[in-house]
Amino acid sequence: MDPLFPALDTARGEALRFGDRSLTYPELAAFAAPLAVRLRDTGRVAVWATPSLETAVGVVAALLAGVPAVPLNPKSGDSELTHIVRDSAPTLVLAEPGTELPPALASLDRHDIDVQIDVQDDGAPRPAPALPEPPPESPALIVYTSGTTGPPKGAVLPRRAIAATLDALEDAWQWTGDDVLVHGLPLFHVHGLILGTLGPLRRGGSVRHLGRFGTEGVTRELGSGATMLFGVPTMYHRIAEALPDDPELAKALAGARLLVSGSAALPVHDHERIAAATGRRVIERYGMTETLMNTSVRADGEPRAGAVGVPLPGVELRLVDEAGEEVAADDPEAVGEIQVRGPNLFTEYLNRPDATAAAFAPGGWFRTGDMAVRDPDGYVRIVGRKATDLIKSGGYKIGAGEIENALLAHEGVREAAVTGEPDPDLGERIVAWVVPARADAPPSLTDLADHVASALAPHKRPRVVRYLESLPRNDMGKIMKRSLTQQ
Ligand code: MCA
Ligand code: AMP
């Protein structure tokens, strides 16, 4: 296989910028390659994925070494981290110097990524040692993703899938080494890490990370040379809200080459507000942790609000009805589950052959669980999700079952059910339906939110709590969530 990062040997310009710290390609190579040599004989490595140069360098080093990297959300709570560490069994954790790591990681060796360039007498970075390119099917990243029930599963992503998806996006977005990407996405998920960090590095271009998302940072970077913006719909919603009072933001967006939204549906209202204020249309792409990117509106195609574009090169996509039959491609009314096949797919859920087998239909088609229709010209429109127990909030996928289990571990909770309801900013907000252990002293929303944030992660915390005397159940004892949301 060709190298995953050919530009590491050839590009000279800036590769990464986080705040006021940056690395050129020669500096990145000079730093990541020696770290890769040290990592080569370790097992899996965990990366404490703060939005920092260190995280990017650590992941690149692991990829050069051919050692699978497990990015960890630095805000993960105890039970989530304990699960991930137990399941993925890393031997080492890479972290920014000075960060305090939680007890759940105490059993791992720690290696601080000290971004100090090893220079020669003439001040140039010391040449990087050459490393053999690992085989294409070797696992590159293990990214944890929530399911409807149980704790998150580790999607094993081979090098081949990362290369395939980034090259398909090169074609669809005419993405080159001249592009400068700006974003403020977290580095422990596919969007911010694979697309937003490894994407520019594969092209020999650069990425400027905002540290945390804000419209000022978007204005500053797009106003000073950045060409592309990636974000989740919540970020574009905040941009749409800010635009009427922020002509500089409108000007910066108008000058961008490409504005891309993904991870959840961007509401048509936000599409239209941004187009009206900037003259630019946001394009959407559709992907999943397990499949990386499946479809996109192409840079040379027609932007269409509410549609996620056409299958990317190399991706086969079909819609399948309840009976398992493929729906006719020329019927724009026919709804089916999106199933995909191609080199962009993961290999398995780590330690979960049962879940892996269940995720595929005969013929190697991956069942996404997303329901869609197709416009006559093949544009895909996502219309819903098969599982009502998956919530997309702020672009994060969150399983209701995980939060219910966390809530049930709270002493003030006797019974709990979790649903999502529409939210203009987050897309969906998490609602906890709680039967308190003591009706006269129900646990407060803050109490429950803190409890979930510290066990799982802050983005999984409920934003609303509704108290009930009992949960509606059917004859089988199953909670009837539909009747909850209809109340
Ligand atoms: C609030 N906070 C708390 C609590 N309450 N912390 C602990 N306990 C509490 N009870 C903290 C939060 O951690 C956060 O801290 C701050 O208060 C604000 O919280 P919140 O309102 O939740 O967040 P936000 O700042 O408004 O975040 C909105 C966001 C974020 C920036 C849009 O949701 C986000 O970054 N989303 C991106 C998700 C993503 O990348 N998904 C990709 C996966 P602090 O401010 O310090 O953070 S999907 C994917 O990869 C597929 C392949 C795809 O298609 O892309
Ligand atoms: P995750 O597992 O966190 O990678 O989230 C994947 C899910 O995000 C998909 O199955 C879709 O439901 C959703 N998603 C991603 N991109 C889009 C998009 N552009 N429009 C609608 N939903 C999306």
Contact 387, 148 (CB under 8 A): yes
Structure confidence by residue, pLDDT tens digits, 290-312: 999 999 999 999 999 999 999 99
385: CA distance to ligand 2 center in Å? 10
Q: Domain-by-domain residue ranges, the chain?
A: 6-200, 390-486
**Vertex 257: Cα angle to 252 and 262 (nearest 5):** 95
Structure confidence by residue, pLDDT tens digits, 440-463: 999 999 999 999 999 999 999 999
- The finding on whether 263 has its CB within 6 A of some atom of ligand 1 is yes
For residues 453 and 125, what is the distance between their CA atoms, to the nearest angstrom? Answer: 42
Confidence (pTM): 0.97
- The finding on whether 340 has its CB within 6 A of some atom of ligand 2 is no
Is the per-residue pLDDT at 57 higher than 70? yes
Hey, which of 29-38, 60-69, 327-336, 472-481 has the most confident mean pLDDT? 60-69
Closest Cα to atom 1 of ligand 1:
458
| pLDDT of the residue at 342 | 98
- The finding on whether 287 has its CB within 6 A of some atom of ligand 2 is yes
Is the per-residue pLDDT at 119 higher than 80? no
The values of phi and psi at residue 141, to 5°, are: -135, 150
| pLDDT of the residue at 345 | 98
| pLDDT of the residue at 117 | 61
Mean pLDDT of the region 325-331: 90
459: CA distance to ligand 1 center in Å? 5
Confidence of residue 1 (pLDDT cuts 50, 70, 90): low
Mean pLDDT of the region 319-339: 93
337 has which bridge partners?
Answer: 320, 371
For 289, what's the count of Cα atoms within 13 Å in the CB-facing half-sphere? 22
Q: Letter for the amino acid at 306?
A: G
Confidence of residue 115 (pLDDT cuts 50, 70, 90): confident
Structure confidence by residue, pLDDT tens digits, 198-224: 999 999 999 999 999 999 999 999 999
209: CA distance to ligand 1 center in Å? 16
Contacts of 271 (CB under 8 A, 6+ apart): 281, 282, 305, 306
Is the per-residue pLDDT at 226 higher than 90? yes
Mutation pick for ligand 1 pocket among 145, 232, 366 (CB with most ligand atoms within 8 Å): 232
Mean pLDDT of the region 94-112: 94
Q: Is 45 helix (H, G, I), strand (E, B) or coil?
A: strand
DSSP-derived secondary structure for 292-307: EEEEE--TTS---TT-
Mean pLDDT of the region 51-76: 97
For residues 171 and 439, what is the distance between their CA atoms, to the nearest angstrom? Answer: 59
Nearest bound ligand to the CA of residue 308: 2
Is the per-residue pLDDT at 240 higher than 80? yes
Instruction: Give Dmax over CA atoms of the chain in angstroms.
Output: 78
Closest Cα to atom 20 of ligand 2:
265
Domain 6-200, CATH class in plain words: alpha beta
Is the per-residue pLDDT at 335 higher than 80? yes
Which one of 1.20.120.80, 3.40.640.10, 3.30.300.30, 3.40.190.170 gives the CATH number of domain 390-486?
A: 3.30.300.30
33: CA distance to ligand 2 center in Å? 34
Structure confidence by residue, pLDDT tens digits, 384-432: 999 989 999 999 999 999 999 999 999 999 999 999 999 999 999 999 9
For residues 159 and 78, what is the distance between their CA atoms, to the nearest angstrom? Answer: 30
Q: Which residues of 461-471 are buried (b: 16+ CB within 10 A; e: fewer)?
A: bbeebeeeeeb
Atom of ligand 2 nearest to the CA of 390: 12
| pLDDT of the residue at 28 | 94
390-486: same fold as 6-200? Answer: no
% of the chain at pLDDT higher than 90: 91
